[in-house]
Every structure is written in C-alpha cells, then in structure tokens.
Amino acid sequence: MLFNKRKSLTQRFSNRGRTNGMLWKIGYILALLGGIVIIALSLAAIIHYPLYLPIQVPLAGYAGIGVISLILGVVAVVGSKRINELVWGIILMVVGFLAGGIGGLLAIIGGLIGLLSRYA
C-alpha cells in the first residue's frame, strides 16, 4: 500500500481513441454502400445515361464527370475500411459532398458515424 505507483497519464486515458465496434460497422457499411452507389451512377454517366451531378467540368462533358465520379467512388470504397481515422473520415465526407446524390449522402453519413465511433 505504501508503494503504490500512480498511473501515468497514458494509462489513465488509455481507452481514448479506441473504436466503438457497433458504430464503426454502421459507418463502414454506409460508406461502402455510398461508394458502390457512386460507382454505379458514374458508370451510368459514362455510357451517357442522363444524369446530373453537382461537379461541372466544362471541357470534360458527361464522360469526364463520370470518370471523376468513378474515381471518387473508388476512393470512398477504399477509404471505408479506415473510416475511424480522422483523415479518412474527413476525406470520405469531402468525397461524398463532391459526388453528390444518394451515394454521396451515404458516404457523408458513413464518414460522420465513423468519426463518432472513434471520438465518442
């Protein structure tokens, strides 16, 4: 009893930064579904299916918008696995904003829930 060591600050706050498993899974599923929807809609834009996205690229036309959205969708799918990290959560929310539509909304919500799983 006399020689009890006091816990260091890292030992006291060791639970901080761990993920909440259930929230992480929900965020992962939403971001993954958002990325898949973004990819599907961008493929539809590449084959000239009438689709309007908030990204305006004057020289690219529909195919250019489809390619940009396809890249954004791949980033969302790849980043969904690491959604609880601060940088990837922010990247997914930006990707969702740029992609727009229902897929973008799912990516934004997934990124937000992923960040909440880490810091809540």
* CA 36, 42, 43, 48 torsion-angle sign: positive
Within 8 A by CB and 6+ apart from 107, the residues are 30, 31, 34, 35, 38, 76, 92, 93, 95, 96, 99
pLDDT of residue 64: 65
pTM of the model: 0.73
Average pLDDT of the chain is 79
One-letter amino acid at 53 equals: L
pLDDT digits (tens, 9 = 90+) for 15-58: 455 667 888 899 999 999 999 999 998 888 778 765 555 555 44
Average pLDDT over residues 11-15: 49
Looking at residue 84, what is its pLDDT? 84
